[in-house]
Every structure is written in C-alpha cells, then in structure tokens.
Amino acid sequence: MKHRLSRRRFIASATVSMIPSAVAIAQPKGISLFTMGTDEQSSESQKLPKPDWKNAGVIDLSNSPHAKLKTVPVRAVVIQPGFWSQRRTTNLVASIPSMHDELLEHGRMDNYLRLKGKLSEPQKGPVYSDSDIYKWTEAVGFQLQIADEPKLRATTDAMIRDVVAVQEPNGYLNTYYNSDRKPLRMRYDTQTTGHELYCIGHLLQGAIAYYRATGDPTLLDAGIRFVDSFLIPDYGPRANQKAIVAGHPEIEMALIELSRTTGDPKYITLAGYILHGDERVPLKPEQIVYMYCGIPFTSRTKLEGHAVRAMYACCGATDYYLETGDPAYWKTLNVLWNDLTAHQLYVNGGVGARAEGEAFGDPYELPNAQAYGESCAAIGNMMWNWRMLAASGDAKFTDVIERALYNGINSGMSLDGRTYCYRNPLAFDPTGESRDGDQVDGKIRNAWYDTTCCPPNLERTFASLSGYFYSTNDDGVFVHLYDNSEMNWHLHDGTALRVQQKTNYPWDGEVKITVSPATPSDFVMYVRIPGWSTKNRVKMNGEEVAGAKPGEYLAIRRRWSKDDTIDLNFDMTTHLLKANPAVTEDRGRVAFQRGPIVFCMEDLDQSEHDGGVNLAGYTVLEDGETTAQFEPHLLDGIMVLTHPATISKTATDTTLYFQSSTPKAPASPTTVRLIPYYAWANRKPAPMQVWIPYKDA
Amino acid sequence: MKHRLSRRRFIASATVSMIPSAVAIAQPKGISLFTMGTDEQSSESQKLPKPDWKNAGVIDLSNSPHAKLKTVPVRAVVIQPGFWSQRRTTNLVASIPSMHDELLEHGRMDNYLRLKGKLSEPQKGPVYSDSDIYKWTEAVGFQLQIADEPKLRATTDAMIRDVVAVQEPNGYLNTYYNSDRKPLRMRYDTQTTGHELYCIGHLLQGAIAYYRATGDPTLLDAGIRFVDSFLIPDYGPRANQKAIVAGHPEIEMALIELSRTTGDPKYITLAGYILHGDERVPLKPEQIVYMYCGIPFTSRTKLEGHAVRAMYACCGATDYYLETGDPAYWKTLNVLWNDLTAHQLYVNGGVGARAEGEAFGDPYELPNAQAYGESCAAIGNMMWNWRMLAASGDAKFTDVIERALYNGINSGMSLDGRTYCYRNPLAFDPTGESRDGDQVDGKIRNAWYDTTCCPPNLERTFASLSGYFYSTNDDGVFVHLYDNSEMNWHLHDGTALRVQQKTNYPWDGEVKITVSPATPSDFVMYVRIPGWSTKNRVKMNGEEVAGAKPGEYLAIRRRWSKDDTIDLNFDMTTHLLKANPAVTEDRGRVAFQRGPIVFCMEDLDQSEHDGGVNLAGYTVLEDGETTAQFEPHLLDGIMVLTHPATISKTATDTTLYFQSSTPKAPASPTTVRLIPYYAWANRKPAPMQVWIPYKDA
C-alpha cells in the first residue's frame, strides 16, 4: 500500500490544540490544531491558492495524486436565480432551521446535555442518533461556505460546544454507549450494528465542512482526538490492537478527507485497513453482504446488501484509490459501477430495490411501487460517481450524477423544504401499506423519521451543490452541471478565471457560457454533452464547433479572452424510455424523460381524476407526440408534458385472473399529463407512476 | 358468545386418565381419557357411526352445528393409482422417513431427551422446534389412518413416549423454555414471539390425528393436560387470570378440534377468547398486523401481515363459526376471502407476496420472482377454504382448494419426496440472491431448513388428502376432488355407500363416477364443476344431464341404485390467463392453465436452451394454438404444452434503459415448451417463469 503524499503538508498533532493558528486562517475562531509546514512549498506552487480552509471543495482533491480532476470550492460558484436557486433558498430558510427544531424536539441534543449532567433523562433515539447532529452540522458548514449566516453560525457553534464538552479524556465521543451500555463499546458484536464509527465518520465530515466554512476547528479537533487518542492506539491490524469492522461504511471516506485536510497519511492507512476488513472479526456471510464491509473491498464483484452501506463503501474505496492509485481498487470499482448501471440503477437515479434490509436486489430486480430507493442511497450514488468522475474525467459518471440529482435526490425533499421522502418509489398508492413507517395516512413525505438520516443528508447535498458544477485539471476547466451561475476561481497556473452560465436548463437546452480569464490564456474548456442529448449544437463565439458527442466532454482548446462565449444547444426532445425486458415490472411500459428530468403521472393531474381512479387504466400511445408546456404557477413552476393515451375505466374492475379470450374493456382516447418526478407528492396524497403502459395489455 | 353444542357429547376430564376406555375403541392402546356419554344419543342418531376415534375426518364436523357439510374419514377413501398415488406413496416411503431422520439429526428429539436428563447438550433449534415433531406426528397420524404401518407406528410411539415424559406436573410442555429461559415462559413479550401456544396447537393437532389413527390417547392426554392444568387455570379473560395473545395463530383451530374430539365446549370458549384478543396484552400496531391476532378477529377488514399466521387465524375463526354460528365471524371471513381472491391470491394458489415478514403485500402486489408463497401459507389457504366450504357448500371455495393443492402446495415437495420448497416463487433465476436461506447454489429445494415448518406440513397435507375428496350433508354426498379412488362410507341416514371414480384427471377431463348405495336410496350427488371448465357434459347412466355450471356443484337428485354411473366431461382447453392490469408484473403476460394445472416454462425444456438463455427473450403468440402431449417418462409423467412464440436472442443484451425509438432486436419464430408448475426445479437449477410475455415489448 503506497501513499503518494501531497507536496504541501499540514503537520497534525493530537497534542497541540493550544497552539494558535500560524498562518492563512483569515477568520480564525477558536483554537486551530494545525501549523503550516512551509518547507515543501515549491516555486511551482506559488500561484496555487493558499492551502487554507477556505479553498477546499466538496472533497479536497487538490493534492490527491490520482485525481484527474480537482474540485472547485463550494464558495467559488454562486448559483443564481434559476432551477436550483429556489431549492437552495428553501434549504437555508426552511429545511435547515426546521430540521434543527426537529432534532432538538426529538432529544438529539439532550443526549449530550444528559452526559454533561444537565439532564437526567435517558438516552433518546436510535443508536446512530449522534450522526443526525453531525450531518446537520455538515449542511450548515456547506451553507456557511456559501455565505455567512451569523445566527445560524451562533446556533451551531453553541451546539458544537455542547457536543465536544462530553468527549471523554481518552477521545471517545458517543452519547449512546454510555451508562449501562458502556460495556458494549466497540465490541465485535456491536461494531456490526452500533454505528460508533459511522457516527464519528459523520462527525468528521461535518467538522471538515464547518472548518472549511469558518476556520473553526473545534469539532474537527474532537474528531481528530477520537481517531488519534481512542481509535488508532487500540484498534487496527497489529496483534496488540483490536480488530475493526465498519458495520456501516462511512468512516472510510471521512478518514481520507481527514487526511486531505490535515495532510497526515495515517488516516489513509487506517481507511485502507478498514476497507480491507480484518479476519479477526467473526462475521456471518449475510453480515458481509448486508454491511458491505468486513472482507477486502477488492474481492467484491457486485452490489448487494444495504444500499447506503454499499454506496458509502464505494465512496470510501474511490477516495482510497484517488490517494493511493491502487489498481485493484480501480478494477473493482469499475466492475461495481458496471453492475450498477447495467442492473441496479432506477431511472430516477435511485438505488436499492428492497425494503427488506434496505437492500439491492437481484440483477434487474427493480420494482416500482415497492422500490425502496432511499434518499440517502441516491445521495451515496451521486457522491460515489463524483469521486469516479474525479478519478477518470469520464462523463458517464456525470450522467449518473445528473440523473440522481435532478430526480431521485431532488424528490427527497418537498418543495417547501419541510418534509422528506425516506423512500423514493417509482409508483405509489396512498392506500398502500406503510413500509418502515413511511406513508402515514398516505403521506410519503414526513417532517421527521426516527431514523432521520435522509433529511440532513438532503440538506448537506443541496448546500454543497455549487461544488459539483466544475472541476479543473492541468489543461483547464470541466463544466459538469448547468444552471445560472458564476464561478470565480482560477486555472492550475493561478490565472484567475470567471465562468458565467445563462440558461433556462433543465427546461430548455440552451446554455450560454461566458469564459473570462484575467489575462488571455491557452487552456481547454471541457463542456459536458449529456448522454440523453441526441443532437447537439455548440458554438464558440457564434461559430459552430464540431465533435459534440452525447455522454462526453467536448474539449474546446483555444486561447481564451474575456467574454468568450460558448453556446450550447442540447436536444430537449422528450424520450420515451424502455427498460431491459428482464426488468419485469417495466415491460410494456415507458418512462418519459425530457432533458435530465424524469416525469411521472400523478393522478391529480389527469382529466379523468375523480379522487380514486386507478392509474392502471391508462395506456399511452407509443408513437404519440409529446407536448411540453411550462406552467409557472404549478408546483413552483414546472414543465408539464401531455401525451395522447387511452383510458379503460373498467380496467381495474376485472377479476384478479381472467381468460385471455375475455373481451377487452372498451378504451377511450384521452391525454395524460405528466409532471417532473421530483415534484410528486407535494399536493394531497394521490396515486403516481413513472412507468406507464404503452400498449393495451 | 353462544355455543350451540352437539347432541352427542364426550365427557372430558383432566383427572380420569387412569379410567380405561369404556366403549367403542376397537384397537385400544394405552390409556384413554374418555368415557362415552350415552344419555343424549337420540333414536335418530342410532344409525350414525359410533362416535369413536376411527370415524372423524381431517377435521371432525359431525357435530358442528353450522357445518353445512360433514367431513368423511380419511380412511373411508382409498386413492388408487392415478395422479396422486405416486405422491402419496413417496410421502410414505421417502418423505416421512427422511424427515424423521432429519429431525433426529438436527436435535429435535434431543431437546426432549435432554430434559429427561439423558443428554447434557443445550437446547437445539429455533423457538418453535417442538412443533416440527408434532407436525410430523400428525403426518404419521394421517398415514396410519390410511393403513397400519407397524414400524412407523412403533417409531412414533417411542417418540411420543419421550415427548410426554418431559411434561411437567403442572401440565407445561415445551423444550425451549427451560433452564435459564424458564423465567420467560408465557410472558406477554414472549407470547408474541415464543410460539409456546403454537407448539401446543400443533401437539394437539398431531395428537388428534394420531388418536384418530390408533386410538392411542397418550399424546392427546398430554395436550389436554397442558390446556386443562396449565393454561385454563391461570390464563384467560378473568381478572385473576393472565392475558393471552396467540403470537402465531394455530392454537385456535387446535382447541376447537380438541372440543370436537372431547365434546367439551370450554375449548371453544378459550379459542373464542384468543380470537377476540385481550386488551391487557400491550401490542404495537405493527405486531397486530404481523401476528394477525391480538384484536377482535371480527374487526379485521383485510389480509395483511405474516401470511401463515393470517391463514391459520382464518382457519381458527372459521372453525369457531362452524361451532358457534356467530354471524360477525361469517361476515368478516367473507370480507377476507373476497380480499384474498380479488387482490392477494397467486395463480398457483399461493399467498404471501413479501419475503420481508413473510407477508401479504398491498392489493395486487404479486411479484413473481420475489414472490414468497411459503408452502405453509398455501396449505393454510387450503385448510381455510376447506372450512369455508364446509360452512357454505359453495364450490368457489373448492376452486381455491384445487388451485392451491395442484400447484402451490404440490410444488412444495420434490417429486422424489426428499426436498422441499419453502418459497414457491412464480419466476426464478438460479443465479439470484438467496432469500431466507433458500436457493443455496441455485437450488430452491432443500432437504432441511432450520425453520422446517413446511416439510412436515406438506407431509401431513398429502397424508390427509383422501379426507378432502368428499363431504356429506343430510341430502347426500358432495364430490370435491377427482382421482381414481373408492369411498366406502354412508349417508347421514346410515345407508352404506360406495362411490368409485375412474379418471385420468387432471390430464384429461373425463371422470366416471360409480355410485353404489347398499340399498336403493333417494339422495343427491353434488358433483363439482370446476370453475375453469367452461364447457361441460354430464351424463347420468349414459343420458345427458343439463344444468352444469362452472364453479358450482351440480345436484343430481334421484333414487340411486348399485352401479349407477355419472360421466363427467370437463373442458380441458388450455387457457391463457391474464391478470388484472393492476398486477404490474403480470401486465402484458399470460399464464397457461389446463384443467387445474398451472404451467411454467423451465429453461431446460426450451430448444434454444444453451445453459444460460434468459427467459426474458421469449414472447408467446396470444392467438397461437397450444398443443398438449403427455410425456410418461418426463418428471414422473406429465402433460407438456407447446405453444408458438418468438425469441429475441439479443433481448437481454440491451442496456438497462434505452429510447423507445431504438430499433427492435430481430425476433425469430420458435416454440415454447411448458411443464406443470408443480414439477419445476426437479432437475438441475434453471430459470423458470409462469407469466410469459405475449406481446413483443
């Protein structure tokens, strides 16, 4: 296991928490753990940004030797009014504050106060309750990277103080494994279910995002203390150490991000050990499947088990590859990615077919109404593909990111930002039975889940979104996502660069990109041609550019000057998608996709809607022409598709089984109306379907 | 709660176990618990059979006031060489002996020997392990009702002695809740999961079957002792009693059969109390759904939760109705039955869509590959419909019995009788992931399951099968099932009657029934016209009889004399069945049914089979003509269907999603071969499907 370390290096120390920050902390607050090593700053890095807390991206790949693409800071890109702006505002003004209140109401902070002796109540919530606070803190961290929010920051600072106050002298920090549960700490049998490392992983991610926003290392110090003082001395591969199993992968990517943040390679080593698994932990085969850890990651040949665990494991493994370049990891990751896209990916970008075990199913097992598609799993899918993209520069990964982001992730949060989907099924009947506590009174969106992993996960994703728009490499800039926005960053040679986007994407396919380097410079703009865009036109300063291919980055290499423009024109034809015939539930059905947006029929929008029409009666005409019309007042402004269809009102009156020779119920012509999938379930509970029969069956 | 009691009554006593049997025990063995009350034997009952242990049916409805049909003893009907004879022989010579060995090998009897102090090993197997012994004993009991098998009887007698030897003085008998688990006995929290009453229910059913075979009440005495000495004094509705929840319904029908066997109504009262639920047991809503008990049975409005629990609860509730006539029960039972047949019944007669919780799904949630369809649930379905049929005389219940018996139950046991399906899915991929331990190395049939409820359940069902062929009422005889057989029984007026069947059913539709009363008598022969038989011809002594309607009993009322013959000719046209369009996985697909037999495609039988062809490539022609050919050497002799189809060999090479405008893969004409569903998975593991696309999707 080789670590090619960064040239610039932070010197981390577990014992220097009283040393004031030495350099480059523009808004120091609290006590920094870090001193800056300057000995390795070569002349070529003089133009690089100061290696301070401000300039790291969603993940910090600036020194990752196997990252072909480097991240751009979240704060370097301002998303302007357009498709994502309302979601982002809602996230700030509604989601993050209301989730704060929910967390407090459900005792998530009481657990810390109790350990400080301020409360006598028992521990509240499930074993992973601490992680809710940390993931919410991460959302705040990304939000504060965009812009300071003094009140939000003060609130969060106070919560962080309460958290770190209960850290034990040995570094241990977890509110669940205390009192009579203390003997259970980090036992082999509780490592598989106890989520102690999962919680610390989220603490580290939250702490890093908060540190990158504020320079305040308070929470980060606590995380480092847990790892350095509690974990590393006693746990690891050596004979005098106890073995680790992740249980719920998460710690791996957090440790690697900690290494990127501190420059200390020991965290990569630890992550590699956890990714490899330790035979000393006795595990049953079904645990190895379910947890997606415990055996060498590189021995995996397919996605299986708990979907979020598998996705987070893949994130950690890709992070490990980005740092080490281990070819066995890259090979495995590509095998798994091919399994994902050939067999396991829902058309909305979600993953995880089964409610049982919140798990991947067999290949092509992609039920619609019974789809699990946990919001966290879709987010994990996006996070993994983000890392695969960085490792390769291949737009096929961006296509998956876009599919998940606009559909199966975006559906996870209500338009008002106050309720959330835990499951994201592709068909729905509000009279159906609840799965895992969702669908209360037919409502699939709820403000609170006792396992509330998804809401703050959605919040951190939307808060960090601007960090996913661009990457850089030594040749230039990659444009991944399209929306009205302005990036102010620089090329690898240090040349300041502004990139502006003007567009009505994803509702229409025209994007104007204005590229303005501080001084005329030779570099490449890699603009993404989405995989769904069959026909494309690209103009450079008004002149046609050839070579645009769906699912690739078009490289425009030239000497760029201020206000150079790229005009993109993507193909917004609505496509009726079919699924591989092995996907039994989608057979004879089509899904509508226009641009990156997957659509669905919600019963409320159908003219025949009478409060209880079963959607099974509709059949769309395969060769019919789809009309798209923007409706500014419906569901915060959406494109609505209409498509010719037939309706057989008696279709659902038939018996359960009948002879094929039974005369067909008469079908009348009608038109179906489709709304973007992400906008479903924002009115009263109603039947919904993404996959619609296209032949009269 | 009113009990209309039988006129003939056994006087049961918990304290008379040393009283020798008084009357009517032809082959007494051991000590009988019963004395015969003669005071109520009215003159009209003089012609009735002696109310001894020999003359009770699968369930004993002879004195059930609300049973419109009365059962016929298992031993009164001899099944002769034909469709069921091989299965029945296999059951005796292979299944029951091999399961005996498996039970011993897996420590099921060691649990008793341990408590006798003969072994020092710990308890083995799950909490319901005792029930495996009792269900196997019930299979033996039914087998011995057919014919004496001295060796089998000696083996079972010895096992019964070992079982009853560990009964405690207070009547308690359970090998799991001993030693350090003793404090957990019959606590509210363990009643929901502990299966103590489930085990006793199976003990009683096994004991009754064994008693009806042999007259030996040893095991039955033990069951009565448990109920009378342990259960009734301390558990029940009174304030000084502890509350009961069934946890896994089963005890209800066992208690009612115990009442039928002993004549003591207190067991009906206890069953009614359990069916009603006791509010003193604290239950969560999800437990009430899953366990299908704990609230008044009459408050149920749909089938939900664990399928076997729900089916057994319905059995107990129907038994309760048969004894009490409570109209609220009858109303609820019919609501649930309509839910079953409108929304929840697989075409193979199985129930239980979800592996998660082995449970019913939402209405129309009937996935194929993911179907659970536990063998026990299909058996429970048959047992419930048998009781509904007795309560009503309505052939719609017999149609469900036949569908389950010939398909989803018959599939549960391999043709060699040595391996069993726990799940009975309607599509299968041997490379798929195992669900609940099945599908090891692609094999869905296994000789042993740690939860081995299904194998002995199948064995008791096949051993008791002759008891399901006929019923009687005051007007005459009902013929439910067709196979070569001879019944020797009597009319309600005591007239001896022989009914013979000669047929090649279910392979063809001709059945010759010879009716021979001892003396010419006026009565009715109710012959069942199966629901699937669209066109029917019935002849009485060679002359056409009108009025046969699918799904009804045709009443032939006349003065019958020796060797009167009924010739039935059912419509054996192969039907292509479609499912309600709300069943998403079956949309655009058909299932083949010929007579009562549902067919399936097994990949091995297809001409294009190359070891890995995906069945998703086949499309049958809806208007094609099906050919049926009996193949005597294939799978112990089966009808094979062939049907014109097309195959698109590249169908599964497509990507997961593709645009509808993508050119279709070329399809070539071919022919598919179908085998009876029950015979699947008896060769090497191979893909299988029941529902086949009938249009090129």
For an interface test with A, give the residue of B573, B622, B657 to mutate (most A CBs within 10 A): B657
- List alpha helices for A412-510, DSSP H: 454-463
Using CA coordinates, name the residue in chain B closest to A693.
Answer: B587
Cα-Cα-Cα-Cα torsion A58, A63, A64, A70, nearest 10 degrees, comes to 50
- Span A488-503, mean pLDDT? 97
Residue B11 has pLDDT above 60, yes or no: no
Closest partner residue to B347 among A585, A657, A697, by Cβ? A657
At B63, is the secondary structure helix, strand, or coil? coil
Alpha-carbon radius of gyration of chain B = 25
Q: In this predicted structure, what is the pLDDT of residue B534? A: 94
Residue B366 has pLDDT above 60, yes or no: yes
Between CA A16 and CA A32 the distance in angstroms is 9
Using CA coordinates, name the residue in chain B closest to A364.
Answer: B656
Which of B 429-468 lie inside 8 A of A, CB atoms? 429, 431-433
pLDDT digits (tens, 9 = 90+) for B85-127: 999 999 999 999 999 999 999 999 999 999 998 888 899 999 9
- CB atoms inside a 10 Å sphere around CB B49: 16
Cα-Cα-Cα-Cα torsion A140, A144, A146, A149, nearest 10 degrees, comes to 110
Query: Nearest C-alpha of chain A: how many angstroms from B290?
Result: 12
pLDDT digits (tens, 9 = 90+) for B433-461: 655 555 566 789 999 998 999 999 999 99
Query: For B598, how many CA atoms within 13 A lie in the half-sphere containing its CB?
Result: 30
Which residues make beta-bridge pairs with A359? A306, A354
Q: Which residue has the higher pLDDT, A51 or B46?
A: A51
A657 and B589: CB-CB below 8 Å? Answer: no
Q: In this predicted structure, what is the pLDDT of residue B206? A: 98
At B668, is the secondary structure helix, strand, or coil? strand
Alpha-carbon radius of gyration of chain A = 25
Residue A288 has pLDDT above 50, yes or no: yes
Q: Which residue has the higher pLDDT, A34 or A646?
A: A646
pLDDT band of B655, cuts 50, 70, 90: confident
Q: In this predicted structure, what is the pLDDT of residue A4? A: 35
- CB atoms inside a 10 Å sphere around CB A550: 16
Which residues make beta-bridge pairs with A412? none
Q: In this predicted structure, what is the pLDDT of residue A32? A: 37
pLDDT band of B15, cuts 50, 70, 90: very low
Q: Are B76 and B471 in contact (CB under 8 A)?
A: no
- Span A112-126, mean pLDDT? 91
- List alpha helices for A393-471, DSSP H: 395-403, 454-463
Q: Are A521 and A475 in contact (CB under 8 A)?
A: no
pTM value is: 0.87
pLDDT digits (tens, 9 = 90+) for B416-430: 999 999 999 999 988
Q: What does the DSSP 8-state code read for residue B563?
A: T
Using CA coordinates, name the residue in chain B closest to A575.
Answer: B659
Residue A613 class from Cβ within 10 Å (0-12 exposed, 13-18 middle, 19+ buried)?
middle
Q: Write out the E strands in A187-252.
A: none
Residue A317 class from Cβ within 10 Å (0-12 exposed, 13-18 middle, 19+ buried)?
buried
pLDDT band of A44, cuts 50, 70, 90: very low
Query: Nearest C-alpha of chain A: how many angstroms from B429?
Result: 9
Those residues whose C-beta lies under 8 Å from the C-beta of residue B223, and which sit 6 or more positions away, are B200, B203, B204, B207, B258
What does DSSP say about strands A521-529 and A476-479: parallel, antiparallel, or unpaired? parallel
Closest partner residue to A660 among B345, B356, B576, by Cβ? B576
A578 and B660: CB-CB below 8 Å? Answer: yes
Taking contacts as CB-CB distances below 8 angstroms, the residues of chain B near A347 are: 657
Q: What does the DSSP 8-state code read for residue B490?
A: E
Which of B 661-680 lie inside 8 A of A, CB atoms? 661-662
pLDDT band of A133, cuts 50, 70, 90: very high
Between helix B96-105 and helix B150-164 the angle, nearest 10°, is 30
Between CA A9 and CA A347 the distance in angstroms is 42
Which of B 367-426 lie inside 8 A of A, CB atoms? 367-370
Q: What does the DSSP 8-state code read for residue B648?
A: -
Between CA A49 and CA A35 the distance in angstroms is 17
pLDDT band of A665, cuts 50, 70, 90: confident
Angle formed at CA B293 by CA B287 and CA B297, multiple of 5 degrees: 135
Q: In this predicted structure, what is the pLDDT of residue A613? A: 53
**Cα B460 to chain centroid, rounded:** 8
Those residues whose C-beta lies under 8 Å from the C-beta of residue B251, and which sit 6 or more positions away, are B197, B198, B200, B201, B204, B271, B274, B316
Amino acid at A266: K
Of A269-278, A549-558, B442-451, B541-550, the range with the lowest mean pLDDT is: B442-451
Q: In this predicted structure, what is the pLDDT of residue B439? A: 58
- CB atoms inside a 10 Å sphere around CB A217: 26
pLDDT digits (tens, 9 = 90+) for B206-262: 999 999 999 999 999 999 999 999 999 999 999 999 999 999 999 999 999 999 999
pLDDT digits (tens, 9 = 90+) for A443-488: 899 999 989 999 999 999 999 999 999 999 999 999 999 999 999 9
pLDDT band of B196, cuts 50, 70, 90: very high
Q: In this predicted structure, what is the pLDDT of residue A652? A: 55
Query: For B147, how many CA atoms within 13 A lie in the half-sphere containing its CB?
Result: 7
Which of B 90-109 lie inside 8 A of A, CB atoms? none
User: Kind and range of the H or E element at A557?
Assistant: strand A552-560
**Cα A358 to chain centroid, rounded:** 17
- CB atoms inside a 10 Å sphere around CB B20: 10
Those residues whose C-beta lies under 8 Å from the C-beta of residue A512, and which sit 6 or more positions away, are A501, A502, A503, A565, A566, A567, A568
3-state secondary structure A550-619: CCEEEEEEEEECCCEEEEEECCCCEEEEEECCCCHHHCCEEEEEECCEEEEEEHHHCCCCCCCCCHHHEE
- Which tokens hold the place of B257? 């059969």
Closest listed residue to residue A402, CA positions, set A413, A422, A386: A386
Q: In this predicted structure, what is the pLDDT of residue B617? A: 87
What does DSSP say about strands B574-579 and B589-594: parallel, antiparallel, or unpaired? antiparallel
Q: Are B566 and B540 in contact (CB under 8 A)?
A: yes
Tokens 């004991």 -> residue: B207
Residue A6 has pLDDT above 60, yes or no: no
Q: In this predicted structure, what is the pLDDT of residue A666? A: 82
- List alpha helices for A23-149, DSSP H: 83-90, 96-105, 110-115, 129-146
Sign of the four-CA dihedral A408, A414, A417, A422: negative
Between CA B533 and CA B597 the distance in angstroms is 12
pLDDT digits (tens, 9 = 90+) for A584-602: 999 999 999 999 999 999 9
- Which tokens hold the place of A172? 């241990």
Using CA coordinates, name the residue in chain B closest to A345.
Answer: B656
A433 and B304: CB-CB below 8 Å? Answer: yes
What does DSSP say about strands A10-11 and A35-36: parallel, antiparallel, or unpaired? antiparallel
Q: What is the mean pLDDT of chain A?
A: 90
Q: What does the DSSP 8-state code read for residue A372?
A: -
- List alpha helices for B362-407, DSSP H: 375-392, 395-403
Burial A406-415 (b: 16+ CB within 10 A, else e): bbbbbbbbbb
- Span A10-35, mean pLDDT? 34
Q: Are B72 and B469 in contact (CB under 8 A)?
A: yes
Between CA B292 and CA B289 the distance in angstroms is 5
User: Kind and range of the H or E element at B84?
Assistant: helix B83-90
**Chain B interface includes A695 (CB < 8 A):** yes
